[in-house]
Amino acid sequence: MIRQLKDFDSHFYDVVTVGERGQVVVPSKARKELNFNPGDKLVAIKGAHGRALVLINMKDAKTTFDKMAKMFSEFAAKYSKEGQ
């Protein structure tokens, strides 16, 4: 079973509105916690079965993607053994 979020509130920032030009404002708490600063380049990735948008600061992208690859590899190794 995939680990469930222990504390939903720690992962939820706010509700945002998409403007006419497709822009959204990243909530200030998220900007502070994620160290998003004016002028930063963000990688935008489709997530959660095509129903979510994930933003990763470009300066952190390699580290983040390396961690994700390790997590997916461990997940695949664990569950491929269970399926045998």
Amino acid at position 46, single letter? K
Check residues 2 and 14 and name the one with the higher pLDDT.
14
The band of 29, judged by pLDDT with boundaries at 50, 70 and 90, is very high
Residue 1 forms part of a structural domain: no
Calculate the average pLDDT of the chain.
86
Which residues contact residue 43 at a Cβ distance below 8 angstroms, ignoring those fewer than 6 apart?
A: 55, 56, 57, 58, 61
**pLDDT at residue 84, as a whole number:** 57
Q: Is the pLDDT of residue 36 over 70?
A: yes
Pairing of strands 42-47, 52-57: antiparallel
**pLDDT at residue 2, as a whole number:** 46
Closest CA to 36 of 23, 25, 45: 25
Q: Kind and range of the H or E element at 79?
A: helix 61-82
Q: Which domain holds residue 21?
A: 8-82
What total number of domains does the chain contain?
Answer: 1
What is the domain-level CATH number for residue 12?
A: 2.10.260.10
Summarised one tens digit per residue, pLDDT across range 43-81 is: 999 987 888 898 999 998 899 889 989 998 998 888 887
**pLDDT at residue 83, as a whole number:** 58
Closest CA to 46 of 38, 37, 56, 36: 56
Residue 3 forms part of a structural domain: no
